Structure 1
């Protein structure tokens, strides 16, 4: 029996770390699984880069989203132009994902809830309530929240955002 393929899925190009990355991500997200693994055969895009039998692609899913991890060689790198947003319902959840995904990542790429993991993939760890706070009809409230977000040096503190939102002072953060 053939499973239904998601209409659009994300392809992540790694040099040679696809399998390590998939194992890492599926260990962090509780609702995850690894799927089909395709290996390089005799025909490869550049035989000097990948050995026959090496992992070419791995299908995996995180929280119901399908991905493919490709070992494609050193030709392309991840940039912050693409990031994955993890919506969190509590500070405990923010802390969990931040701590797991930032481990061994680029400490210089941490700001306003953004981080870059050990594979160079960018993530945004944000409270689920953030869009509601930023789109409040009261511009003073939404501006205070935005100011608090922009002043965040690493992971977001949910209590600070709520305090900024609920404050009566326009200069509060």
Structure 2
């Protein structure tokens, strides 16, 4: 069996001219994050890619001190993001939930979302989840867990205090 280190997988995100803006947006939100490389289109392959020479092709960036690596590609309008793929942020407390929710919903869409899900201004889906939620929902006390689940289903941004109240009855 081949062993793959965790540094060998990079998430690729497809954009239509917004790769650099998206990378800078995410790097500004998450601490200890940075853009690591920008590559531009050249005349080579222009008949296939259709992009102007000199325009941004790829922006590589890392979030949270290199824990998560991404490549943002300006590939054109052929593909768009889907909520079928999302990035989950495990938050230690309500302040962290509020911070990420507020930053990622700037110009995005939280109105049509629920259960801690949101779509940022680039159409990328995120789940902003308090760590305690996993404990509440996986409790062996099924009645309590079900109350927390019902409360969560009625929320957009998750509220730890309200989830705990529902759990406690």
Whether TM-score is above 0.5 comes out as: yes
Per the normalisation by structure 2, the TM-score is: 0.91
1:87 to 81, 87, 90: 90
The structure in which a higher percent of residues are helix is: 2
- Between the aligned partners of 2:122 and 2:136, the Cα distance in structure 1 is 32
TM-score (norm 1): 0.89
Shift of 1:5: 8.8
Runs of 5+ unmatched residues, structure 1: 168-173
Alpha-carbon shift at residue 44 of structure 1 (Å): 3.2
Count of matched residue positions in the alignment of Structure 1 and Structure 2: 163
Larger CA deviation: 29-38 vs 94-103: 29-38
> Secondary structure of the residue that 1:137 maps to in structure 2?
coil
- C-alpha distance in 1 between matches for 2:9 and 2:73: 16
2 CA distance for matches of 1:161 and 1:40?
A: 49
Correspondence for 2:141: 138
Is residue 164 from structure 1 mapped to residue 150 from structure 2 by the alignment? no
User: Partners of 1:109 and 1:126 in 2: how far apart?
Assistant: 17
Of 149, 155, 158, the match for 2:157: 155
Match of 2:71 in 1: 68
Aligned CA RMSD, in angstroms, stands at 1.7
Q: Distance in 2 between matches of 1:55 and 1:89?
A: 36
User: Is 2:110–2:117's contact at 8 Å kept on the other side of the alignment?
Assistant: no
> For the residues of structure 1 that align with 2:165 and 2:32, how far apart are their CA atoms?
32
Runs of at least 5 residues in structure 2 that lack an aligned partner in the other structure? none
1:112 positional shift: 1.4
Q: Distance in 1 between matches of 2:47 and 2:100?
A: 36
Question: What is the CA-CA distance between 1:49 and the residue it aligns to?
Answer: 3.6
Asked if 1:8 is matched to 2:1, the reply is no
Give the Cα–Cα distance (whole angstroms) in 1 for the partners of residues 68 and 130 of structure 2: 19
Deviation of 1:46 after TM superposition, in Å, equals 4.6
Partners of 1:155 and 1:54 lie apart in 2 by 37
Distance in 1 separating the partners of 2:109 and 2:119: 6
